[in-house]
Structure 1
């Protein structure tokens, strides 16, 4: 896995050889940190795969997604069109578009698992204690049981029309394809109610 800066270094190296830059002068040739975070928020790119303290970590799929986005932008495609095309794309499909050299796809060692901060709001409420006489000795201090620690991360799955489904964890390519298929009735309903961006609807 890579930090955001390491990921962007690999994106830059992948694009250096043949990327001519986007025809729209307002588009950056290589995305910066802010652009990557915005892409993740909109579902154009997956959210980070893990965290090391406050540092987000990324992997091969993120690299393929970012390079694919920039290659399609270089062909004059809008972000809305790109989001529609790449929604639920498999790594094989992304690799075909991105054409990232194999040596850039090699990842470093996975970080050691990190303890997840307990979710105090999810702990069951303690039962009410019986009243204690004023002259009663104080009971020995007992540490309360720790609430269950659960990993919780959200990733966006773009459905088209500007609609994005946030799901916990990191969905696989098969998950993305299944979510996109299952969401078709929902997209039809949203479209019927005028709640989708028609220019982005496939």
Structure 2
């Protein structure tokens, strides 16, 4: 099982955003929706062995974590609005410290990176990190940030995590996920 976690520093923690304005009213929810799609979609199929976590830190009631499970998700199409509609649906359901499913394969709980960091051994995606092609054994969990850098408190939580880079240029989070999937696919299949 592979896990991707993306920090949404401004992402709304209630359904009070418009699907017609994911970047503005959603607090750059568009970035997170693209990451969901990059994490889960293949051409004509889903990656059933992937979980995608969205750590929502914006107003009004953060932090919350939304989990998309590739094994169980339904009603997800490969566009931002589809992922946004599922996020909007689940983040308003009452939840506590454990994940509560609000749609097939999509669940929510209170809490953020601190809790996730205790559950997964993340590699942090960082353009200054080790080249992914030189890392012998890749981990099964990857942490990315949205359009903003990690905050100081987040850096403190992840200070001991390995840092990995997918190349010499700074890529968008969803593009980084795609490159990581390609590298993992090549390694798993032995394809050269």
* Shorter-normalised TM range: under 0.3
TM-score (normalizing by structure 2): 0.25
Quick check: which one's helix share is greater? 1
Quick check: which one's strand share is greater? 2
